[in-house]
Amino acid sequence: MRKIDIHEIIDVVKELCIDANYNIGGDIFCAFEEYSKKENSVIGKEVLEQLIDNSKIAKKKQMPICQDTGMAVVFLEIGQEVFIEGGDLNEAINEGVRRGYEEGYLRKSVVRDPFYRENTNDNTPAIIHYDIVKGNLIKITVAPKGFGSENMSRIYMLKPSDGIEGAKSAIIETIEASGANACPPMVVGVGIGGTFEKAAILAKKALLRPVGETSMIEYVKEMEEELLKKANGLGIGPQGLGGNTTVLGINVEVFPTHIAGLPVAINISCHVTRHSSKVI
């Protein structure tokens, strides 16, 4: 049994909060460059070039890529041969978020109650997802999620008879309804199957897959490629100003489900789609 001190987890979560908000992922940056060459709108091309410049400045000056530094979503894959000592794991993760948002001068956007909206002033509590896996390591991923895009996300409880075409229609409908609100070009995470909540978590996890990396399931890969082409034919374009770059990537994850159901969750993410990971 390998022991990991709780303070190491606090430090890692703090570092990841800052890193995710300052440094855009290499896959996203490469997608900006690739799509800027293919963009058919003059304004759209200018916007993509501005997004590239913005990313470079944020990295060089070590400052937030976007003013909305999001609600901290934290994924942990915990090896079953790990013993965490020295304190409560949930409290440690929230302390890491607290320190990261304070030391990184990141905007605190979390309110204590959904109706009585007093700011917690430290961006806690985080949204935490745990998976127990084989081994003696812990993988921690922090994915700050802004709500311009989160608000445009949807879940559909389709009938099995709706099939693949029904799921495709729901996904395109959601992207089209998002318009400029999600700060396109978007990254779209899709979860299909499971239950109401499982589909939503699958969709959120799908956003962690690098842009440009397709599913290993052949029919899902074909679905992703078809949806990407359709989405970029909507004409929404960068920042909603028109063009053929509305979506950088559509990542679909599937899971077994009940004979009577077909849950489809679509988690819309903005052009930065921030996340940073570390294994300890």
The single residue listed with the structure tokens 């009938």 is: 159
Q: How confident is the model at residue 1 (pLDDT cuts 50, 70, 90)?
A: confident
For 2-27, what is each residue's pLDDT tens digit? 999 999 999 999 999 999 999 999 99
For 95-121, what is each residue's pLDDT tens digit? 999 999 999 999 999 999 999 999 999
Listed by start position, the domains of the chain span: 2-20+65-145, 148-273
- What is the Cα gyration radius of the chain? 19
User: Which pTM value belongs to this model?
Assistant: 0.95
